[in-house]
Structure 1
Amino acid sequence: MNAMRLARTGSTVLRGIRCASTIPHAHTTINGQGSVIPLSNVEAQWEVLSNADKVATALQLEDIQKKDWKELSLQEKKAIYYVAFGPHGPRTPHNPPGTAMKIIAGTLAIVTVSALAFKGIRSQGGEPPRTITKEWQEASNDIAIKQKADPISGIASEGYKGKGFVTADK
């Protein structure tokens, strides 16, 4: 709430982070206890900082960015990157860790239950229909040839070498 009020009075945008440009002592980052937050520890303390402390940290990093990038330390570069692109605010992960394994386990469980249900239903079925037997399908081929079914490229065409209607092995 306090940060929003500060952002309305006079603000600049630091890579998606609103920060007030009118905060006194912007060069030092001070937490609620009055101690300076080291830049090497920004990642660990970002979630527990108040909004005013986050704004002050962002301002400090904004001032640091005005320096030559070759002169910045690795810790300063990491802190700048974390504040600008870290997993906080709109970049907070939506799914907690372990969600992928739950999805995989759930999918495997559903597939297993479906396979068991399919096998159970198939085992309760009766004899296959008589039109699936090999003899019936061969008789269907003979009838199709007599009736000249599909005479251009099908079973009644000259030189046809396909199986016709025969799909059963037995």
Structure 2
Amino acid sequence: MFKSLTRTAIRYNSTVAKTAPRALSNAYIGNLESRWTSLPKEDQQSLIEELKVRQELPWQELTPAEKKAAYYISFGEWGPRKPLYGPGEQSKVFWGTAGLIVLSAVLFFGIKQLAPPQPHTLNREWQEASDEYLKSKNANPFSGYSQVQ
């Protein structure tokens, strides 16, 4: 009628050592920085998975080549972290931009020299005379002419 309840102990995150997968060969992960972009996507994914399994072990059990490969895969200059400009391209961008600015300034002043002269109503004396005339007529530049009553 009554069943005896037995509890089974389940140990999560056990401290029992896991069976260590074999270390990856230095030929497989060596010089990864120069070979990574030329590897096929399947090989990249398999290498990432194998290193992930190896990283579950204590960090001291990883070889220096595995540590270096794991660091490059996690933080290396590939994928979204690839630099926008390669070596020497920044100077090309700088000199191209500087050249375009100089070219636009030369073009601006060249067109300005070829343009007809300014109308005589834009000189300083004409502007001062028109200001005096408007003051004598009680002109208000914000609300129009003021009416003196």
Report the 3-state secondary structure (helix = DSSP H, G, I; strand = E; otherwise coil) of the residue aligned with 1:37: helix
Aligned to 2:55: 65
Partner of 2:32: 42
Q: CA deviation at 1:66?
A: 0.8
Equivalent in 63, 66, 72 of residue 76 of structure 1? 66
User: Is the CA contact 1:40–1:75 (under 8 Å) kept in the aligned structure 2?
Assistant: yes
Give 5+ residue unaligned stretches, structure 1.
1-25, 31-35, 157-170
The aligned residue for residue 9 of structure 2 is none
Relative distance call for 1:136 and 1:47 in structure 2 (3 A) is closer
Distance 1:131 1:80, change over 3 A: same
Q: TM-score, normalised by structure 1?
A: 0.54
Matched, 1:126 2:121: no
Q: Which structure dedicates a bigger proportion of its chain to helix?
A: 2
Q: Matched residues in 2 for 1:116 and 1:92: separation? A: 37
What is the aligned length? 124
SS across alignment from 1:87: coil
Sort the Cα spacing of 1:49 and 1:138 in 2 relative to 1 into closer, same or farther, 3 A. Answer: closer
Output the CA distance in 1 between the equivalents of 2:37 and 2:105.
Answer: 47
Q: Radius of gyration: which is bigger?
A: 2
Aligned-partner Cα distance in 1 for 2:136–2:105: 43
Bigger RCO (CA 8 Å, 6+ sep): 2
| Deviation, structure 1 residue 80 | 0.7
Q: Percent identity?
A: 34
Q: List alignment gaps of at least 5 residues for structure 2.
A: 1-20
Q: In the alignment, which residue of structure 2 is the partner of 1:27?
A: 22
Per the alignment, residue 139 of structure 1 pairs with 129
Aligned to 1:115: 105
